[in-house]
Amino acid sequence: MAKLYIVPTPIGNLEDITLRAIRILKEVDFILAEDTRTSSVLLHHLQIDKPLRSHHKFNEHATVAAVASAIEAGRNVALISDAGTPGISDPGFLLVRTCIEQGIEVETLPGATACIPALVQSGFPCDRFCFEGFLPQKKGRAKRIAELAEERRTIVLYESPFRVIKCLEQLAAAMGAERRVAVVREITKRFEECVRLPLGEAIQHFKAHPPKGEFVIVVEGCERSHRTATDEKEDDDE
């Protein structure tokens, strides 16, 4: 029975792909790619020659039905994104949901993602965490940051290099300049870096060293001393 395979791809280092992922990409009938030009480089490196079809946020609503029909007709399909795991701040959710609704089997492979390495190397508690991906750029952004200021779990955010400083400034305004942050850039790549500082100092660091590359921002959770009396009472009642 044909199925949809969700296949993570490397986020920088081409060695970070599993043997299983390579096998699946070689076996499927065709591959859905966020950007066929980017994916062609990876597939060429892996010596995989399979038909590529474009599947991204601008066309996924128009293509999911046709993809589901192809799988129902017996064609195995793999979905990849430019980097990382499809569906995590990348296209994928809509296709997965459509396949599930139509009774099509979905098999998701484990693999590369920027979130987990950044979280683990931050040094903040990672037994429980809150993954926010990209915050809203405009509407709802301030409200969401204000809500995160009271979040007790470690917080993981994705951010564009063009908005890193602004994001850190907004976090500092809501959480205080002393709240600690780990700003991780270029994970798995040659110039990978993790800057661990209080928010206020991190802002100054990136003003002196303009942000370049892909960024993950990991923020420590709200400490007991910063939480509300209501939070304290809830702890006492547990």
Sheet strands side by side (includes 215-219): 129-134, 154-159, 215-219, 180-185, 193-198
Segment 143-195, tens digit of pLDDT: 999 999 999 999 999 999 999 999 999 999 999 999 999 999 999 999 999 99
Across 81-169, the runs of DSSP E, i.e. the strands, are: 106-108, 129-134, 154-159
Q: What percent of the chain has pLDDT over 90?
A: 92
Judge whether residue 228 has pLDDT over 50. Answer: no
Mean of pLDDT values over 14-32: 97
What is the rounded distance in angstroms from the CA atom of residue 154 to the CA atom of residue 124? 7
Mean of pLDDT values over 3-32: 97
pTM of full prediction above 0.85: yes
User: Hey, is 174 helix, strand or coil?
Assistant: helix
Q: Could you give the domains of the chain?
A: 4-108 (3.40.1010.10), 115-226 (3.30.950.10)
Report the interhelical angle of 93-101 vs 60-72 (nearest 10°): 40
